[in-house]
Amino acid sequence: MLRNALEPWHILVVVVVLVVLFGSKKLPDTARSLGKSMRILKSEAKALRTDDAAAAPAPSADSPR
């Protein structure tokens, strides 16, 4: 059913609609802010993973099971 759902011309139509709706002047600013947001999200997710790994104590070899 969704085999060929996203053809190259679909992407072209979406880009044209975005340019018409938002204008060519706002699109670079929007892309820049989206990139900053993605970087922040990525760094926060990485920090959460390292915090979780540091908080979880490693089982010691001499502890009984």
Is the model's pTM score more than 0.85?
no
Q: Residues of the chain with pLDDT > 70: what percent?
A: 78
Judged against a pLDDT cut of 90, whether residue 18 lies above it is answered with no
Per DSSP, the three-state class of 37 is helix
Per DSSP, the three-state class of 55 is helix
The pLDDT value recorded for residue 5 is: 73
Joined together, the tokens standing for residue 21 give: 């709706």
Q: What pLDDT digit, counting tens, does each position of 20-34 carry?
A: 888 888 888 888 999
- The number of residues in the chain equals 65
Average pLDDT, the chain: 82
